[in-house]
Amino acid sequence: MARGSSSRRSSSRDAMRKKRGASSGIKQPPWRGTMENRFPPMEPLSADQLEAIHEATLDLLEQHGIEAMGDEALDLYQGAGATVDRSTGMVKMDRDLVMELVGKAPSSFKLTPRNPDRTITLGGNGINFGLVSGPPNVHDCINGRRPGNWDDYLKLVKFAQFFNCITVLGNQAVAPVDLPANIRHMDTTKANVVYTDKMFNHQLIGAGRARDSVEIVARGRGLSVEDMIDDPSCIGNINVNSPRKLDEHMATGAIAMAELGQATIVTPFTLMGAMTPVTMAAGLVQQNAEALFGIALTQIVRPGVPVVYGGFTSNVDMKSGAPAFGTPENAKANLAGGQLARRYNLPYRTSGCNASNCVDAQATYETFMSLWGAVMGYGNIIYHSAGWLEGGLVASFEKVIVDVEIIQHMSAMLDPINTDPDEIDVAAITTVDPGGHFFGSDHTMARYETAFYPPILSDWTNSEQWLLEGAQDATQRATVLWQRVLEEYEQPPLEQDRLESIEAYMAKRVEEIGSGEP
Amino acid sequence: MARGSSSRRSSSRDAMRKKRGASSGIKQPPWRGTMENRFPPMEPLSADQLEAIHEATLDLLEQHGIEAMGDEALDLYQGAGATVDRSTGMVKMDRDLVMELVGKAPSSFKLTPRNPDRTITLGGNGINFGLVSGPPNVHDCINGRRPGNWDDYLKLVKFAQFFNCITVLGNQAVAPVDLPANIRHMDTTKANVVYTDKMFNHQLIGAGRARDSVEIVARGRGLSVEDMIDDPSCIGNINVNSPRKLDEHMATGAIAMAELGQATIVTPFTLMGAMTPVTMAAGLVQQNAEALFGIALTQIVRPGVPVVYGGFTSNVDMKSGAPAFGTPENAKANLAGGQLARRYNLPYRTSGCNASNCVDAQATYETFMSLWGAVMGYGNIIYHSAGWLEGGLVASFEKVIVDVEIIQHMSAMLDPINTDPDEIDVAAITTVDPGGHFFGSDHTMARYETAFYPPILSDWTNSEQWLLEGAQDATQRATVLWQRVLEEYEQPPLEQDRLESIEAYMAKRVEEIGSGEP
């Protein structure tokens, strides 16, 4: 990570570029930040159905409750007026209390990474596509399937920095299991700050990890942790242990983030048929109750702190019990989750995912299903948009490329149509005789370079040419492309004093908590 | 095609089924006919933009016109009040005339094939998915790429009959080039009637072919051609030779269909940058003008005859001139085309397509893009929904399977969510303790077999199992599946006298027009 070695890489990269010719760089749409979805959201629930789910949710929270683990969370719920059974950890909240607490959260907020040009907005019709988050394994078609490691972690981070359509990284694109588990969160956070200048998700397993990464981000911005309280730079996800259990590490992680004024996403992981009842209506009630329960906790700690309604409702294969993703039910739940989030004026997190074992047609149609649901459900932050494979057990390099292509397609499709007079132009039509063609017309020549979205992965050559060139399918072409991304990647400059401050903090913390080495 | 050989095939099929066990049949959703899309359509054009395109369209038709070839069409346009230049074939229609003629067409109509249970509706929010139409070549992963032939034609027809989500066949799923070109339309029409009981598209290259296939369909229904005038059974597509030219064979095909009270789809084939200006606004104006021009012709022949607004606006690769399909522009044009069709209260035809050379991630995401636009644009009849590859140069058996899976996914996603009290059921949630699971609960056991959409192609096994079973990707599994479809296909019974009547008609026509043999 020394600057010298980075410079050497740069020179070598420049040489390779010259060799290939300047025009061979990967052409992608420019950075546009949070994408605006100008179409109305797709809403599978009628207003009455939405209210039925809402009321059943409040019944569940009021009459049955959810279990919270750990005195810190139980004390907070009790202090806010909830009924807490200390012997079981069950917390019941009456409907007014739930709505009062949830009502304190902002409907929209900004998150600013170390480069303020990379600020994103969470709320309304703004869509942010995030890199895959959390798989234990990594795969590419050169090196095969392997446990996550540090080198691959850095490659994935560079992919996310490279592609403009990715506005936020997940928490640990792959788990680098070659690093000690107790300090790994600091290494990954530092790498995110050093190798990207974009937003990323933090790991919220316990308050300590949450605080460490907030401290590192503050140093990356050249701010104090206090400076960031009303100018958040950090966001992390907690999962509810469905059904109806909030684990202590998750609760204390969220509490720490709220104390520091940073954002938490509360996501019940609700696979229908396994962690919820088999019906979508009951699955959504349970998701909703669990999400509101965690969201309420953040508002008890710090009213008005940014928080995101997370939904991750898919189903299992009822023949085998295997989890399934990108199913019609998953896509529909992604849409319905957006309705529920908007019901409470909360930003919404959802996901793109699939259960395929390789980067094939199944991986593609399942991802497209879930992403369609996510984008048309107004997923303000869409986890796992690029690179997720095998139901989240693998981060795939080729899948990153395929998914970026899908995201860029979707974004271009959602862009408005220009009907200004010189675009609609009847005269441009009539300059060409019936049965002729428009290839050489002035109207075409003035616009042809930017008229259409240029894909990075699609091959439109004819069959003969494609066979001559080796008959590579999209996955094989993706292998070529991710290698080129690593060549073309440019490290965003970081002030030396900020880097040193981060390293000093980490050294101090390693002294306090140990290096994890045996 | 003798009944005897068909029976022998049935017995062998039954034996194979027994061998595999009854449960190994391909499980698919039941026939539901025309699918209802309960979501509002996605509309990329504002009301003002739509009107701007509409007005520019009428300017084009009024001031510049479109060329029609052949005296029959020119006489009809002139007789209706259009200004016809006989030296150039240019036809100009004032805006009131256009709107008057287009206004005579029905907004919705039914089409009844020989099995009335297979009736489909074209209009409103009804969606019909059609098999690929017209490629000159066929491909499967066993026998490779080859020119279309009769045997493959029959296989494709059987796929369409087998899958319930396909409600209409295209015109010649592949061109059987081993049959004589001048009588091929009768063989394919007869095969459609014999091997399926569903709707299909007719070839409208000239009045003779159009009449022949209407005659054959009437015999398949046991009706006269006259009986079908107000009870249409036939639909065919004509393409405008864009820009702005209606060829004689297309015009006379449409005229014949209108005379016989049967439905025509009028589809300009408008690749932006080649056959239209490079801007989408101008491309849509040209598409709209060409479509309305052909639609008007049908209404001159027979006011009120069913007709469909066809749109097929995609773009070319401006670097190479190669056609591109399933692009963001194609998907968006599919949506905008629906707005234009609704502007004129006409049913809408659009397409699912892609430009990939093999059944890979590109084929899948491009198809998904175009189908998403088609489904959310209310494509009442979606051509090429299953099996199209290589920009329409190939009908692919594996792609049929992948596309059926995509269509079934989409249809399930668009189905409503049931929120009846026993579905929403808070008690079903609370029967399971926090952190437990729902696999064995009564609520699950009562519903698990039908709770979720069961895919035919997706493999949800874990990586270890998948590797053990041969690590087949979706395309390889599709090869297994299409062979099983051919084993499980059942020929829908057709009355012997109807078959004989069809064969007698064909024999008579072959005498009249020759067998095409050298």
Specify the CATH number for the domain of residue B247: 3.20.20.480
Cβ atoms of A211 and A32 closer than 8 Å? no
Helix H or strand E encompassing B316: strand B312-316
Q: Is A95 on the interface with B (CB under 8 A)?
A: no
**A198, part of any domain:** yes
Chain A residues whose CB is inside 8 A of the B458 CB are 324, 355-356, 362, 366
Inspect the interface and report whether the beta carbons of B67 and A435 lie closer than 8 Å: yes
Closest chain B residue by Cα to residue A465: B357
**A277, part of any domain:** yes
Does pLDDT of A1 surpass 50? no
Inspect the interface and report whether the beta carbons of A368 and B368 lie closer than 8 Å: yes
Closest chain B residue by Cα to residue A319: B449
Does pLDDT of B6 surpass 60? no
Which tokens belong to B312? 């097929």
Question: In B, residues 150-209, which contact A (CB 8 Å cutoff)?
Answer: none
Q: Is B442 on the interface with A (CB under 8 A)?
A: no
Which residue, B417, B422, B386, B415, is CA-closest to B161?
B386
The 10s digit of each residue's pLDDT in A292-303 is: 999 999 999 999
Which residues are paired to B264 by β-bridges? Answer: B236, B307
Inspect the interface and report whether the beta carbons of A328 and B415 lie closer than 8 Å: yes
**A118, part of any domain:** yes
**B485, part of any domain:** yes
Q: Which of A493-497, B44-48, B513-517 has the lowest mean pLDDT?
A: B513-517
Cβ atoms of B34 and B121 closer than 8 Å? yes
The 10s digit of each residue's pLDDT in A260-279 is: 999 999 999 999 999 999 99
**Strands lying side by side in the sheet with A144-147:** A144-147, A137-140, A394-396, A388-389
- Arithmetic mean of pLDDT, A378-390: 98
Nearest neighbour of B429 by CB, restricted to A243, A322, A428: A243
- Arithmetic mean of pLDDT, B130-152: 98
Domain ends where: A365, A399, A414?
A414
**Model pLDDT, residue B453:** 97
Question: Could you tell me the end-to-end alpha-carbon distance of chain A, in angstroms, rounded to an integer?
Answer: 25
Does residue A227 sit in the same domain as residue A338? Answer: yes
pLDDT band at B515 (very low <50, low <70, confident <90, very high): confident
Inspect the interface and report whether the beta carbons of B282 and A425 lie closer than 8 Å: yes
Question: In B, residues 23-62, which contact A (CB 8 Å cutoff)?
Answer: 39-40, 42-45, 49, 52-53, 56, 59-60
Inspect the interface and report whether the beta carbons of A357 and B466 lie closer than 8 Å: yes
Closest chain A residue by Cα to residue B376: A42
Query: Given the structure tokens 């938490």, which residue do they identify?
Result: A264
Inspect the interface and report whether the beta carbons of A322 and B460 lie closer than 8 Å: yes
Give B156 to chain A, closest Cα distance, Å. Answer: 21
Inspect the interface and report whether the beta carbons of B361 and A432 lie closer than 8 Å: no
Nearest neighbour of B423 by CB, restricted to A279, A419, A420: A279
Nearest neighbour of B327 by CB, restricted to A39, A369, A453: A453
Residue A19 has, within 13 A of its CA and on its CB side, a CA count of 8
DSSP state of B61: I
Cβ atoms of B285 and B60 closer than 8 Å? yes
Inspect the interface and report whether the beta carbons of A393 and B473 lie closer than 8 Å: no
Does residue A220 sit in the same domain as residue A342? Answer: yes
Query: Given the structure tokens 């509490």, which residue do they identify?
Result: A255
Closest chain A residue by Cα to residue B410: A328
Pairing outcome for strands A312-316 and A323-324? antiparallel
Q: Is A243 on the interface with B (CB under 8 A)?
A: yes
Give A68 to chain B, closest Cα distance, Å. Answer: 10
Per the structure, the complete domain to which residue B238 belongs is given by 1-414+455-518
Does residue A430 sit in the same domain as residue A346? Answer: no
Nearest neighbour of A273 by CB, restricted to B59, B435, B444: B444
Chain B residues whose CB is inside 8 A of the A280 CB are 417-418, 423
- Tell the burial category of A56 from Cβ atoms under 10 Å away from its Cβ (0-12, 13-18, 19+): buried
SS3 content of chain A, % helix, strand, coil (to 5): 45, 15, 35
**Model pLDDT, residue A515:** 77
The rounded distance, in Å, linking the Cα atoms of A302 and A271 is 31
Closest chain B residue by Cα to residue A324: B460
- Arithmetic mean of pLDDT, A328-355: 98
**Strands lying side by side in the sheet with A83-85:** A83-85, A90-92, A66-68, A245-246
Give B356 to chain A, closest Cα distance, Å. Answer: 7
- Arithmetic mean of pLDDT, B468-490: 98
Does pLDDT of B17 surpass 80? no
**Model pLDDT, residue B517:** 55
Does residue A410 sit in the same domain as residue A440? Answer: no
Nearest neighbour of B435 by CB, restricted to A241, A461, A474: A241
**B402, part of any domain:** yes
Which residue, B148, B201, B205, B204, is CA-closest to B179?
B148
**Model pLDDT, residue B283:** 97
Chain B residues whose CB is inside 8 A of the A355 CB are 458, 460
Q: What is the largest CA-CA distance in chain A?
A: 84
Mutant choice from A45, A419, A462 vs B, greatest count of B C-beta within 10 A: A419
Domain ends where: A403, A437, A454?
A454
Does residue A258 sit in the same domain as residue A384? Answer: yes
The 10s digit of each residue's pLDDT in A292-339 is: 999 999 999 999 999 999 999 999 998 899 999 999 999 999 999 999
Which tokens belong to A166? 């990715």
CA distances from A113 to A123, A208, A221, A225, A500 (A): 17, 21, 7, 13, 18
**Model pLDDT, residue B347:** 98
Q: Is A279 on the interface with B (CB under 8 A)?
A: yes
Left (φ > 0), alpha (ψ -120 to 50) or beta: where does B245 sit? beta
Inspect the interface and report whether the beta carbons of A358 and B473 lie closer than 8 Å: yes
Mean pLDDT for chain A overall: 94
Nearest neighbour of A56 by CB, restricted to B59, B373, B424: B424
Which tokens belong to B267? 């589809």
Which residue, A323, A344, A351, is CA-closest to A239?
A351
Does pLDDT of A24 surpass 70? no
Does residue A211 sit in the same domain as residue A111? Answer: yes
Mutant choice from B27, B39, B362 vs A, greatest count of A C-beta within 10 A: B362
The 10s digit of each residue's pLDDT in B383-431 is: 999 999 999 999 999 999 999 999 999 999 999 999 999 999 899 999 9
Q: Which of A315-319, B9-13, B208-212, B222-226 has the lowest mean pLDDT?
A: B9-13
Give A193 to chain B, closest Cα distance, Å. Answer: 33
Helix H or strand E encompassing B91: strand B90-92
Does residue A116 sit in the same domain as residue A224? Answer: yes
Instruction: Say how many residues make up chain B.
Output: 518
Does pLDDT of B217 surpass 80? yes
Give B169 to chain A, closest Cα distance, Å. Answer: 23
DSSP 3-state of A436: coil
The rounded distance, in Å, linking the Cα atoms of A389 and A144 is 13
Which residue, B41, B66, B45, B82, is CA-closest to B284?
B45
Chain A residues whose CB is inside 8 A of the B43 CB are 39
Nearest neighbour of B273 by CB, restricted to A40, A365, A451: A451
Inspect the interface and report whether the beta carbons of B393 and A328 lie closer than 8 Å: no
Does residue A345 sit in the same domain as residue A446? Answer: no
ipTM for the whole complex? 0.95
Inspect the interface and report whether the beta carbons of B357 and A463 lie closer than 8 Å: yes
Q: Is B448 on the interface with A (CB under 8 A)?
A: yes
**B182, part of any domain:** yes
How many domains, chain A?
A: 2
| Nearest-5° Cα angle at B156, B153 to B159 | 155
The 10s digit of each residue's pLDDT in B78-109 is: 999 999 999 999 999 999 999 999 999 999 99
Give B459 to chain A, closest Cα distance, Å. Answer: 7
Chain B residues whose CB is inside 8 A of the A54 CB are none
| Nearest-5° Cα angle at B407, B115 to B20 | 75
Does residue A371 sit in the same domain as residue A446? Answer: no
Does residue A313 sit in the same domain as residue A167? Answer: yes
Inspect the interface and report whether the beta carbons of B413 and A369 lie closer than 8 Å: yes
**A61, part of any domain:** no
Q: Which of A21-30, A103-112, B288-297 has the lowest mean pLDDT?
A: A21-30
Closest chain A residue by Cα to residue B412: A328
Inspect the interface and report whether the beta carbons of A279 and B447 lie closer than 8 Å: yes
**Model pLDDT, residue B12:** 44
Cβ atoms of B408 and B456 closer than 8 Å? yes
Cβ atoms of B242 and B268 closer than 8 Å? yes
**Model pLDDT, residue A516:** 67
Does residue A389 sit in the same domain as residue A295? Answer: yes
Domain ends where: A363, A395, A414?
A414
Inspect the interface and report whether the beta carbons of A275 and B449 lie closer than 8 Å: no
**Model pLDDT, residue A176:** 96
pLDDT band at B24 (very low <50, low <70, confident <90, very high): low
The 10s digit of each residue's pLDDT in A140-183 is: 999 999 999 999 999 999 999 999 999 999 999 999 999 999 99
**A63, part of any domain:** no
- Tell the burial category of B127 from Cβ atoms under 10 Å away from its Cβ (0-12, 13-18, 19+): buried
Does residue A294 sit in the same domain as residue A435? Answer: no
Give A506 to chain B, closest Cα distance, Å. Answer: 35
Mean pLDDT for chain B overall: 94
CA distances from A133 to A352, A376, A394 (A): 11, 22, 10
Inspect the interface and report whether the beta carbons of A368 and B365 lie closer than 8 Å: yes
The 10s digit of each residue's pLDDT in A408-467 is: 999 999 999 999 999 999 999 999 999 999 998 999 999 989 999 999 999 999 999 999
